[in-house]
Amino acid sequence: MATSFDTTLANLGINRTGTGRANTNKLGSEAMDQSDFLTLMTAQMKNQDPFDPVDNTQMVAQMAQFSSLAGISEMNTTLQAIAAKLGATSTTDLVSWVGRTVLTEGNTAYPRTDGTLGGVIELGADAAEVNVVIEGPNGEILKNVSLGSAKAGQIEFEWDGSTDTGEDAGDGPFKIRVAAQNADGGAVTAKPLVWAPVTAVGMGSDGNPVLTLPGIGQVSTTAVRKIG
């Protein structure tokens, strides 16, 4: 079956054989590009009737249309290259995470150099009472921290590093548990968020960096709430 290119050549009285043979590199193509147009225009000018020449206005309009399409195509290619560059994560971007401290969901926390510890509780609804329980490495309860009532969202908490009996709790790591309830005594969804240092970083299957946090494991950067 003849292609649109064959049909156009036939209408101009040009055969694929003989001295007027056309380039057959694009036999499988269903569309014509700027190169095809220039080939046809040249053939048309060579074979035009001198008493009925080709309409110059129409030819110029067609050339302008092809030039416009070519420009748009080049622009799309450039924009795609820019988008790929902006979306790519370089080695420098990955390395910059190492050594930073991030706030993410987790229940294992390490104290600061002065022995204190801070974190955030994420509430799914308003709560009449929020309590944070800090446990030692063996599961023993070291401290109960009452935060009182709080609105839905994030609330910060601080612990001075001492147990309920006033002793130094040590270097940890510590486990953070939280319990929250509304005015009717019903449970309110509450998640502990802890600060943790980034010890290593890699690339996940989804294209996002994956951070390695001590006591927590691997966490995607999309799960990071804040960066310290």
Question: pLDDT digits over 79-96, tens only?
Answer: 776 665 555 555 667 778
Q: Residue 209, Cβ neighbours under 10 Å: how many?
A: 19
pTM summary value: 0.56
> Which stretch of 28-37, 59-68, 162-171 has the lowest confidence by average pLDDT?
28-37
More confident site: 52 or 95: 95
Task: Give pLDDT, residue 204.
Answer: 79
Question: pLDDT digits over 108-135, tens only?
Answer: 998 888 989 999 999 999 999 999 999 9
**Distance, C-alpha 180 to centroid of its chain:** 34
Q: Across residues 23-28, what is the average pLDDT?
A: 54
Question: pLDDT digits over 96-107, tens only?
Answer: 888 889 999 999
Within the chain, residue ranges assigned H as helices are: 4-11, 34-46, 56-87, 91-95
Q: Taking a C-beta distance cutoff of 8 angstroms, is the pair 86, 187 a contact? A: no
> Cα(159)–Cα(144) distance, rounded to whole angstroms?
10
Report the CATH number of the 94-227 domain.
2.60.40.4070
Task: Give pLDDT, residue 181.
Answer: 94
Q: Average model confidence (pLDDT) for the chain?
A: 79
- The domain ranges of the chain are 4-87, 94-227
Question: pLDDT digits over 146-202, tens only?
Answer: 999 999 999 999 999 999 999 999 888 999 999 999 999 999 999 999 999 999 988
The answer, yes or no, to whether residue 55 has pLDDT greater than 70, is no
Task: Give pLDDT, residue 94.
Answer: 76
> Cα(189)–Cα(208) distance, rounded to whole angstroms?
28
Task: Give pLDDT, residue 19.
Answer: 44
